[in-house]
Amino acid sequence: MNFHVCTLFPEMIKQGCNTSILGRAMEKGLITIGTTDIRDFSTNKHMKVDDYPYGGGAGMVMQAEPVYACVEHVKKQLGGNARVLYMTPQGRTFSQDMAQELAKEENLIFLCGHYEGIDERVLEEVVTDYVSIGDYVLTGGELPAMVMIDAIARLVPDVLHNDVSADIETFYDNLLEYPQYSRPAVWHDKEVPAVLLSGHHKNIEAWRYEQSLERTKRWRPDLYEKHMEAHPPVIKKKRKKKKNNSENK
Ligand code: 6GU
């Protein structure tokens, strides 16, 4: 899968994406993360890409032509009509579902704005999706693009070494993840829950599911409701009927 970022700060993207799991995914050729500097497409002799807003007001606006030329250049490079995601607090809020949907694409272009935004006319022509990462304002679209690339790239097959882990974690089925423990078995007088040391896989699975339900109910009642809608109690009664679940509780 290919990610491409149109930005005034390509170094920020390159620095932020070349470590750890994303770095390894790039080395393995599972993903590419390219950047193109919008400033390279300035038509101004001082390489300016912004100007005062018509009608007045604070700040500067990124001009249409350099943004247009940059995105069209990248589109041509990718050899198709890739989706163009504009990072803006006015967009649809990014979610795990959206990450899953975008992970099916072969190419994604991220357009990062700065200052007071980008001339509306070029947005109308090139943008396919307006995306926000939450209800707060950032100074530019680079961090949101990196957040999205991270969330999407880890869903690309083979990026995570443990291919089940993307499925059984937080937000899968609208549940938060159960608590995890590692050695030592006692730390600061706190013991690891006994069931996890039992080696009894069915019981461990049941305990983890209970923990996930409990946490979700307590911390994210909105998600809990969604989960219960999709899994009415009938299904859970069936689970409990299994002999070795109830006997060892
Ligand atoms: Cl996607 N961009 C900017 N500039 N600010 C944001 C955002 C995006 N999402 C939340 N705040």
pLDDT in 10s for each residue of the chain, 249 residues: 999 999 999 999 999 998 889 999 999 999 999 999 999 999 999 999 999 999 999 999 999 999 999 999 999 999 888 999 999 999 999 999 999 999 999 999 999 998 789 999 999 999 999 999 999 999 999 999 999 999 999 999 999 987 556 665 667 889 999 999 999 999 999 999 999 999 999 999 999 999 999 999 999 999 999 999 999 987 555 555 555 555 454
The rounded Å distance from CA 141 to ligand 1 centre is: 6
Nearest to 149 by CA among 11, 26, 245, 8: 26
Tell me how far apart the alpha carbons of residues 140 and 13 are, in angstroms, rounded to a whole number: 12
Name the residue of 6, 114, 116, 132 whose CB sits within 8 Å of the most ligand 1 atoms, as the mutation to test its pocket. 132
Residue ID of nearest Cα to ligand 1 atom 8: 88
Residue ID of nearest Cα to ligand 1 atom 6: 89
Crossing angle of the two packed helices 10-17 and 20-27, in degrees rounded to 10: 90
Ligand 1 closest atom vs CA 139? 4
Ligand 1 closest atom vs CA 145? 1
Give the pLDDT confidence score for residue 249 in this predicted structure.
44
Give the pLDDT confidence score for residue 19 in this predicted structure.
85
Nearest to 1 by CA among 180, 122, 171, 154: 154
Q: Give, in degrees to the nearest 5, the angle at Cα 215 between 200 and 227.
A: 90
8 A C-beta contact, residue 53 and residue 59: yes
Ligand 1 closest atom vs CA 134? 10
CA-based torsion, 64, 70, 71, 72: positive or negative? positive
Crossing angle of the two packed helices 142-153 and 10-17, in degrees rounded to 10: 30
Name the residue of 133, 136, 146, 150 whose CB sits within 8 Å of the most ligand 1 atoms, as the mutation to test its pocket. 133
Give the pLDDT confidence score for residue 243 in this predicted structure.
59
The rounded Å distance from CA 31 to ligand 1 centre is: 24
8 A C-beta contact, residue 219 and residue 176: yes
Give the pLDDT confidence score for residue 245 in this predicted structure.
52
Tell me how far apart the alpha carbons of residues 99 and 174 are, in angstroms, rounded to a whole number: 14
Give the pLDDT confidence score for residue 142 in this predicted structure.
98
Place of tokens 């975008």: 102
